[in-house]
Amino acid sequence: MDSRTIARQCTLCEAHCGILVTVEGDQVARIEGNPDDVLSQGYICPKATAMGGLHHDPDRLRTPVRRVGDSFEPIGWDEAFTEIGHRLRAVRSAHGPSAIGMYMGNPAAHSSSVIYGALLRAALLTRNFFSASSIDQFPQEFVAWRMFGANVLMPVTDIDRTDRLVVLGANPAVSNGSITTMPGAKLRIKEVRKRGGTVVVIDPRRTETARLADEHVAVRPGGDVYLLLAMLHVLVTEGLCDERAVRAQCAGWDQLAQLVATTSPERMAADAGVDADTIRRLARDHAAAPSAVLYARIGVCLQITGTLTHWLVNTINAVTGNLDRAGGQMFATPPVDAARFGKYLPMGYGAWTDRSGTHKSFRSELPVTVLAEDILADGPDRIRAMITYAGNPVLSTPQGGRLDAALESLDFYVAVDMYITETTRHADIILPPTSPLEREEINLLFPVFSVRNNARFDAAVFEPPADGLEDWQILARLVTELVPLPARRFTGRALTGVFELFSPMRLTAAAIAAGPYGVLRRGRKGLTANRIRASVGGVDLGPLAPRLRELIGTKDGLVQLAPPDFLAAVREVVDGADTAMAPGYDLQLIGRRHLRSNNSWLHNIPSMMKGRDRCTVLMHPGDATERGLTDGDQVTVESTVGSIVVPVEISDDIRAGVVAIPHGWGHREPGVGWTVAAAQPGANVNLLHDPARTDPFSGAAAVNNTWVRVSPVAG
């Protein structure tokens, strides 16, 4: 049998590890790490093989399908687009552009088709745009915008050169890093210690990352804001800040110093759940290290204090002189330099609100937690039609369990997805893109957040089927269908022709040529898409270099350490009671991720489902004994808004008083859609999270730190 090996990347998570895909006949025979990859150097995690599983999955849709009752039947592309155009235009002309809502999910960011996602969004002219960003990095973008003047300026953790890595609410040993592309994070963490550096993990659970660290600090869920305020108190009052860096880079020092004058470790210790001596030591060590970096992610981002915590994280890095220097927080110089233009991008903050008037738009979108209500609540301005693209919000977002009913109540719903999922099963029509192994591209986004500057090519492993469409082609056709008749009769075909000329690959090639390494700037030696295509494993573009001055978009060109509304909110948090606490609920629920799982959508790949049940509630032995529970018992986990049943998993890795349940589970009974996942469905933890609990600045869902109670299942 003929056998061939193709180099590309695994596009399942932000690490984008280089892989070598060996194909025998028309089957993926093997997927291995590419030792020549300039960023991942041969590392892959167990999920990489799922790229093959996805491609061959019999449940993956290969043609558009139309819903008939509770099942789906295949239809042709032209028939599908004609019907979609007709239905969407009807909704828009009767109720206006905002009657069509759109949700864009996480995998959209992992292909360059995302350019066309943005185009479709613009063509819709809707105020009701939602994305996975509001259940992910929104607080970090908000902070980047307020501190550095552009939302894309979320700093990268320079893990490969730091002397002290302090990880807060992230588990890169499993997740392989996020808003810092660091494939093989585990090895990089080990390297910090090998070269004499220190690694500290601050997390209510002794995670896989904590096991690699010098020290684990089991903070109370939601305690980080107090911990960081107390660290700042020590840095300021003990004169440990890097005054030169502060003077050169920052504004707001006096207000900041005044704010933290009262947040001593002794005062903050109880709320942080960390003793005062430990906090003092953490602050002193951060200042004393030649370079040090606080790296924070989902565990502190998806909290009601998400914005405040990330502001304090960046502030501590900045005042200790660790912003924009090797070993601290830095900004990459990617081949397409999106960060340089970030400051010109309007954020549309508060340009409109959700229907209840509670949430402001941020970067012209609304938080996804309001989606169900904005469809269901009666009124002329409700959402009547939806487009979802690469998202599964029924499982991934807290909606009080109402999104199923909401999606079912729509006049029309079209999904761009390769599976019938808990979400897309409500669609009238599902449009499946070709498989990731059938597309070629150069990813634009993740080099913006990579630990080393690079450019890498994704080769197509298989020819796409003759009648297959990539995501961008589907999205382009949707844009075309939105053009009003009769104009469309003339422009429809012409537009499709124009879009074909501007494929993401062509646009990327042009942007690279014009970018910081491109031929237009550097002449014949400059970077081209063809050169990237020809380098198996990509082109290394060197270590990150300081560039804050060039990128910063604040009015005075300085890092804003003390936005007045942040200061006011901190005062409230410090003086107020814990608003999360609910009488009768005695455990704090947080999330966790597993190495063989990726949000909601790898549970249909048999190789990812081996081993014991993973959708369990992790509980401290003391808490289990108190409730008379033994390992594996089925328990009911209840919050003020919902309840689910899962098995208990007892472990002293988790702080007493805290429980952890992974998200992305709660699959359907066998029927249409995912057959493998249906055999081990798990339960949907997002039914426990209150959609009303959000970060008040960015609107991001606060899915960490929900008060729950756990009891044995009766009988």
Tell whether residue 324 is a contact of ligand MGD (CB under 6 A): no
How many whole angstroms separate alpha carbon 34 and alpha carbon 523?
A: 30
Amino acid 210 reads A
> Which position among 203, 481, 690, 695 is part of the footprint of ligand MGD (CB under 6 A)?
203
* Nearest residue (CB) to ligand SF4, 17 versus 332: 17
Burial grade of 264 (CB within 10 A; 0-12, 13-18, 19 or more): middle
Please report how close the Cβ of residue 43 comes to ligand SF4 at its closest, in angstroms: 7
Piece of 9-17, 85-93, 319-327, 583-591 that binds ligand SF4 (CB under 6 A): 9-17
Given 162, 171, 176, 473, the residue binding ligand SF4 (CB under 6 A): 176
Binding status of residue 19 toward ligand MGD by CB under 6 A: no
Toward ligand SF4, which CB reaches closer, 263 or 598?
598
When asked if residue 337 is in the footprint of Mo ion (CB under 5 A), the reply is: no
Asked if 302 contacts 514 with a C-beta cutoff of 8 angstroms, the reply is no
Contact flag: residue 706 with ligand MGD (CB under 6 A): no
Residue 409 DSSP symbol: T
Candidates 39, 42, 60; CA nearest to 436 is: 60
**For ligand SF4, which residue of 13, 229, 451, 455 counts as binding (CB under 6 A)?**
13
Q: Which is nearer to Mo ion, 136 or 695 (CB)?
A: 136
Instruction: With beta carbons less than 8 A apart as the criterion, state whether 234 and 284 touch.
Output: yes
Least Å from the CB of residue 16 to ligand SF4: 5
Say whether residue 178 binds ligand SF4 (CB under 6 A). Answer: no
CA angle 563, 564, 568 (to 5 degrees): 120
Distance spanning both ends of the chain, measured CA to CA: 57
User: Site map for ligand MGD, 587-606, x if CB under 6 A?
Assistant: ---xxxxxx-xxxxx-----
Binding residue (CB under 6 A) for ligand MGD from 391, 515, 516, 642: 391
CB of 31 to ligand SF4, least distance (A): 9
Which 8-state DSSP code applies to residue 169? S
d(CA 452, CA 449) in angstroms, rounded, equals: 9
Q: Which residue, chain included where needed, has tokens 């399942």?
A: 12
Q: Does 16 bind ligand SF4 (CB under 6 A)?
A: yes
Q: At 714, is the secondary structure helix, strand, or coil?
A: coil
Q: How far is the CB of 542 from ligand MGD (least distance, A)?
A: 26
Q: Does 620 bind ligand MGD (CB under 6 A)?
A: no
Distance (Å, whole) CA 271 – CA 261:
17
Spatial separation of the C-alpha atoms in residues 107 and 435, rounded to whole Å: 12
Nearest approach in angstroms of CB 21 to ligand SF4 is: 12
Least distance from Mo ion to the Cβ atom of residue 703, Å: 11
Contact criterion met (CB below 8 Å) for 582 and 640: yes
Among 28, 102, 144, 168, binds ligand MGD (CB under 6 A): 168
Q: Could you give the 3-state DSSP secondary structure of residue 219?
A: coil
CB closer to ligand MGD out of 136 and 365: 136
Minimum distance of ligand SF4 from residue 662's CB (angstroms):
16
Query: Nearest CA to 185 among 326, 16, 367, 57?
Result: 16
86 to 105: interface string for ligand MGD, x by CB under 6 A: -------------------x
Binding mask 47-86 toward ligand SF4 (x if CB under 6 A, else -) reads xx--------------------------------------
Interaction of residue 12 with ligand SF4, rule CB under 6 A: yes
Chosen residue from 18, 101, 155, 299 binding ligand MGD by CB under 6 A: 299
Helix (H) or strand (E) holding 415: strand 412-416
- In the DSSP assignment, the letter for residue 484 is P
Residues 259 and 562: beta-carbon distance below 8 Å = yes
20 binds ligand SF4 (CB under 6 A): no
**291 binding ligand MGD? (CB under 6 A):** no
* Residue in the block written with tokens 């089957």: 27
- Pick the piece of the chain touching Mo ion (CB under 5 A) from 135-143, 330-338, 483-491, 688-696: 135-143
How does 663-677 read in b/e, with b if 16+ C-beta sit within 10 Å?
bbbbbbeeeebbebb
User: Residue 174, interface with ligand MGD (CB under 6 A)?
Assistant: yes
Does residue 132 bind ligand MGD (CB under 6 A)? yes
Query: Based on CB atoms, which residue is closest to ligand MGD, 551 or 602?
Result: 602
Q: What's the closest the beta carbon of residue 133 comes to Mo ion, in angstroms?
A: 9
Kindly tell me which of 9 and 560 has the beta carbon lying closer to ligand MGD: 9
Three-class secondary structure of residue 647 per DSSP: strand
- Return the amino acid letter for 29: A
User: What crossing angle do the helices spanning 138-148 and 306-319 adopt, rounded to 10°?
Assistant: 50
| Position 441 contacts Mo ion (CB under 5 A) | no
Least Å distance between CB 350 and Mo ion? 25
CA dist., res. 113 & res. 475, Å (int): 8
Rounded to 10°, the helix 224-237/306-319 angle is 30
The answer for residues whose C-beta is within 8 angstroms of residue 85's C-beta and 6 or more apart is 480, 481, 482, 488
User: Any contact of residue 229 with ligand SF4 (CB under 6 A)?
Assistant: no
- In the complex with ligand MGD, the residue whose CB is nearer, 149 or 222, is 222
12 binds, among ligand SF4, ligand MGD, Mo ion, none (CB under 5 to 8 A by kind): ligand SF4
Q: Is 447 in the site for ligand SF4 (CB under 6 A)?
A: no
* Candidate list 37, 57, 83, 136; residue touching Mo ion; CB under 5 A: 136
CB of 134 to Mo ion, least distance (A): 11
Binding test (CB under 6 A) with ligand SF4, winner from 44, 234, 236, 573: 44
Is 308 near ligand SF4 (CB under 6 A)? no
CA dihedral 39, 44, 47, 51 (to 10 degrees): 70
CA–CA dist 125, 352 (Å, integer): 13
Instruction: Compute CA distances 323 → 158, 225, 295, 320, 552, whole Å.
Output: 10, 20, 12, 8, 12
Q: In 3-state terms, what secondary structure has residue 58?
A: coil
Angle between helices 564-575 and 253-260 (to 10 degrees): 0
Amino acid occupying residue 290: P
Q: Which residues bind ligand SF4 (CB under 6 A)?
A: 10, 12-13, 15-17, 44-45, 47-48, 176, 183
Q: Which residues bind ligand MGD (CB under 6 A)?
A: 13, 105-107, 111, 132, 135-136, 168-172, 174-176, 178, 202-205, 207, 219, 221-222, 224, 297-300, 302-303, 389-393, 396, 416-419, 421, 433, 436, 471, 590-595, 597-601, 663-664, 685-686, 689, 703-705
